[in-house]
Structure 1
């Protein structure tokens, strides 16, 4: 893509032939960048200049009104090569972006590992070993590790937030109440989605190499903005009504066994 002058001309001649070379040379196009920046390489056929007559007579057809059009075979050949070059530029840009992303993740990986080492050296060992496993994972996780991390994080959120719903127990089960999907897209970028039992699907963002559940949390509890899961909201109302009519106001609450179809 960085070829210029003679090397560029030799490349064009080898790929598209001497006619394509003549078309570019007569317009002063001597590199890939200039070729892609030219809106219409065939506009020379519309040029009202005697200096272009030789080219137009040799490689074009004169119409009844005196104007010229380039031969279809030449136009198709050159346009095909231009389209290939444009596609290569797009592919190269995607690869560069992916490479930059991988370098950033690698840098975050190193920072996370260093911070984890310092924390372990200065902090007492927690009694809950599973929590340590979750927080000390690097950003280079497998798909299964990403999924496990999300499930554990959501379970922790349920435990911490059950009192907000006036519940003694709040549990959400993956594969029953929500569905996690983690995959690589066409460019190789890691993507994640979570689908609720009410059929609402939400994209998951990545922060420091790990997927975040902030969108799903809002879906579960943001009553004011109307983003709450209707299925879960209805179950909470039922629980609150039941609690008000029973002696024990600390009934446990598990979300409904609603499945997606």
Structure 2
């Protein structure tokens, strides 16, 4: 039978064949009886064909099936004792094809692994180049630039943590709260230390070639930093003074309100005075009217009265 495919030149998609395409491939490689056998045992894909240990094992069994009897006559020799012997070429064809397909699978796996490793290598190379570029760029910083970078980090940290320390105004200033020392060593690698006002000398680490200040932050959070305690205490003094002043003002207001007559009482006293004054005025007016109505004795009447009294 004419062979369209050879084991050394299998199609690129051979491992993904199924159904009609798979059977066409098997027929072109092995033959039609082999296809019918695989259909009989329900092998319909390349992957299942590679996984089955012996596709011809069914021919060695004493199974009562007319289709199998026909396949036995096509793929086997009938012996004198009525047993069947599978033709060597049939066995060789199946085993060789399975071996070739498995080799094809291994080649694809190895190729995929190499491509993956190559991609990872490319990514690693790109990362290394990027890191080297960043380090080269960072290492080109001058000492003033390194110093400015560190001071900016400290300033930002203070702004971000003033609420955590319960401080309204929180800024750490160079030469007041700390002393910063940055220099290059013999390998042109930047080295930095910071000395806290409390006397603690702290070595600053690096991220690549950039100086990091995390060690200084840890020190400020620790209980051993007396400078941080002073900052907290000094920050609380204005608050305490303000509270004391407010308390004094409140006390003075209370005392003043107690010593003064309330507006209600003053109004009541005024009303009482107003009511008593008209009564006194009416009495005075009554007495005056009585005096006016009483007649004043004349001079003759007064003399007559005197004479009568002498008699």
Larger RCO (CA under 8 A, 6+ residues apart): 1
More helix by share: 2
Instruction: Determine if the TM-score, normalized by the shorter chain, exceeds 0.5.
Output: no
* TM-score bucket of the superposed structures, by smaller chain: 0.3 to 0.5
